[in-house]
Amino acid sequence: MKLSFKLYLIIILLLIYVKQSAQSNFSDSLKLALKNANHDTLKCEILSELIENENDDSVWLKYNDQIIKITNTNLKKPNSDEKTYLKYLSIAFNNIAYKQGKDGNSDSALTYSIKSLEIEQKLNLKKLAASTLNNIAKIYDDLGDYKNALTYYNESQTIRTEINDQIGIANTMSGIGMVYFNSGDIIKAIEFSEKSLQIREQINDKRGTANSLNNIAGLYKKQGDLEKSIEYFKRCLDICKSINHNEGITIALTNIGSIYKDKQNLDKALLVFMESLELAKNSRNKLAVGNALAHIGSVYYVKKDYTAAEKYYTESLGLYNEQNNPSKVANALYNLSLVYFEQKKYKKALTCGKQSLQISKTISNAERMKDAAELLYTIYSQLGNYQLALENKELYVLLKDSLLNRETQKATIKSQLKYDYEKKAAADNVKVLEEKKISELKLKQEQNQKHYIYVGLALITLFGLFMYTRFRTTKKQKAIIEQQKVVAEKQMEIVDLKQKEILESIHYAKRIQKALLPSEKYIKKKIQ
């Protein structure tokens, strides 16, 4: 069913291309195909393709909402293709979870991911289920719940190993590497990231290889090894350029620019961010354009060129609003508030600061709330409004303590995780030793069995040779006997022949004698 609809989709797109040669854009063709589609399954297929090719987050989200609406409507109908519609529903839930996670709304992301996983497990869609397990693990990692993160990653790895999904295995290893990094085990983090890189290089997964290089570069950056970090980012950039992966190029350039900024090489950072901006514009990726503008604004802020910083931050804010990205909007407003404060435009600084705080509360972004509250305290103090300054100071301290407690909890989890890991490692060592002993015993038994088998084979061979020799001797003796029998028979024939000849001679002589001598009757007659 699904394959026929895919073929039908291709036919539609080809017809559209032929009939409307001026409309060469693939997304536009898909939109027209969606408008002309009469079957809901086909609509879901087209919407899935549109989602894959859409860079505008707000539009992207609408497409997923359409899939959910179509699938829910059809699932209520009798005799509908439940499996197909549930699969599309699962994909839409996963997409929304990804968007919610990107916006910092982890609870909502987790909810949608679990809904998706339940459907996939019901339909036994192993590959999709493994991907969803990965997504759930990533959410737990973001929340600092490293135990659950590793649990879900390991479940995903089990499925992907079972179905021999090498790309998926590499992705899971990369995720595990990030968990170990966030939990403080840098050595294990790099170890798993390198394993992921090796698999991706072996299967010639260029995009995956670039992603691994990007992750490893990030690990070195967080360690403070900027030289090693920029080396990996540049390798990532080279691969992305070789496959014309514009999004990857933009990310790599942004990361390289950030390193130059950290090294206080602001002019070089600015050049790289400008290059990233041009590329993002050419690819029509509004989110990437907004990010590049924000990075350029940050360089000008460090340079104390507040006019230029304001210009670029304002442009980025406009794009984030278009994208309906609350997390990015809150960041942009906070940055603008800082710029206005430095320019002594306190009212504008206050307006942006309050908006940033309000949006951060809405999406439960405690880190941004803390920063905004601290900035508002400074602004209100400057304006002489000490009551509100005090309220924001109290909020800042409360959030700081809350985050500190969270960090303490994370540290505790890190310690527990490390303890569990070391305990498991020790148990594994004992298990390995026991298994080694068992293996050695099994090997010895196998060697003994082989020895017995060899001895048995040797005895059988000897017995076979003996029997073969006896057989040949018996056969030879039988041949001699047969030969002697033939000779004896021939001799008997000669004796019989001789005997016959003698008897015949006797009989012949007797007949002659009878013929020559007068008979007894005749003699008696003469005597009388």
Q: What pLDDT digit, counting tens, does each position of 88-133 carry?
A: 888 888 888 887 777 777 788 888 889 888 988 888 889 889 989 9
Q: Is the pLDDT of residue 18 over 50?
A: no
* Mean pLDDT in residue range 441-452: 68
**Phi, psi for 511 (deg, rounded to 5):** -65, -40
**Phi, psi for 245 (deg, rounded to 5):** -90, 90
Amino acid 298: pLDDT:
95
Q: Is the pLDDT of residue 296 over 80?
A: yes
Amino acid 7: pLDDT:
53
Q: What is the pTM of this model?
A: 0.57
Q: How far is CA 448 from CA 96, 223, 437, 456, in A?
A: 62, 55, 16, 12
Using only C-alpha atoms, the chain has a radius of gyration, in whole angstroms, of 47
What is d(CA 278, CA 246) in angstroms, rounded to the nearest whole number? 11
* Mean pLDDT in residue range 361-387: 88
Report the alpha-carbon angle 235-232-275, nearest 5. Answer: 65
Q: What 3-state DSSP class applies to 388?
A: helix
What is d(CA 164, CA 431) in angstroms, rounded to the nearest whole number? 27
- Which long-range contacts (C-beta less than 8 Å, at least 24 apart) are formed by 74-83? 74/40, 81/1, 81/41, 83/123
What is d(CA 295, CA 293) in angstroms, rounded to the nearest whole number? 5
* Mean pLDDT in residue range 304-320: 94
Report the alpha-carbon angle 365-366-372, nearest 5. Answer: 95
pLDDT grade for 79, boundaries at 50, 70 and 90: confident
Q: Is the pLDDT of residue 270 over 50?
A: yes
**Chain CA centroid to CA 156, Å:** 8
What is d(CA 192, CA 175) in angstroms, rounded to the nearest whole number? 8
* Mean pLDDT in residue range 382-392: 89
Q: Is the pLDDT of residue 375 over 80?
A: yes
Beta-carbon contacts of residue 244 (< 8 Å; ≥ 6 apart): none
Q: What 3-state DSSP class applies to 100?
A: helix
Question: Please, how many CA atoms are within 13 Å of residue 336, restricted to the half-sphere of its CB?
Answer: 27
**Nearest partner of 269 among 283, 290, 255, judged by Cα:** 255
**Nearest partner of 270 among 256, 249, 281, judged by Cα:** 256
In sign, the C-alpha dihedral spanning 325, 331, 333, 335 is negative
What is d(CA 108, CA 98) in angstroms, rounded to the nearest whole number? 10
Q: What is the DSSP letter of 20?
A: T
Token duo for residue 51? 């989602």
What is d(CA 89, CA 75) in angstroms, rounded to the nearest whole number? 10
- Give the tens place of pLDDT for each residue, 471-496: 777 777 777 777 777 776 777 777 67
Q: What 3-state DSSP class applies to 489?
A: helix
Q: Tokens 């197909």 correspond to what residue?
A: 84
**Where is pLDDT greater, at 403 or 306?**
306
Neighbouring CB atoms inside 10 A of 9's CB total: 18
**Chain CA centroid to CA 352, Å:** 42
The helix (run of H) or strand (run of E) holding residue 325 is none
| % of residues, the chain, pLDDT over 70 | 79
Q: Is the pLDDT of residue 339 over 70?
A: yes
| % of residues, the chain, pLDDT over 90 | 30
- Give the tens place of pLDDT for each residue, 154-205: 999 999 999 999 999 999 999 999 898 888 787 888 889 999 999 999 999 9
Q: Is the pLDDT of residue 528 over 90?
A: no
Q: How far is CA 464 from CA 162, 473, 486, in A?
A: 49, 14, 33
What is d(CA 332, CA 98) in angstroms, rounded to the nearest whole number? 21
The helix (run of H) or strand (run of E) holding residue 319 is helix 306-323
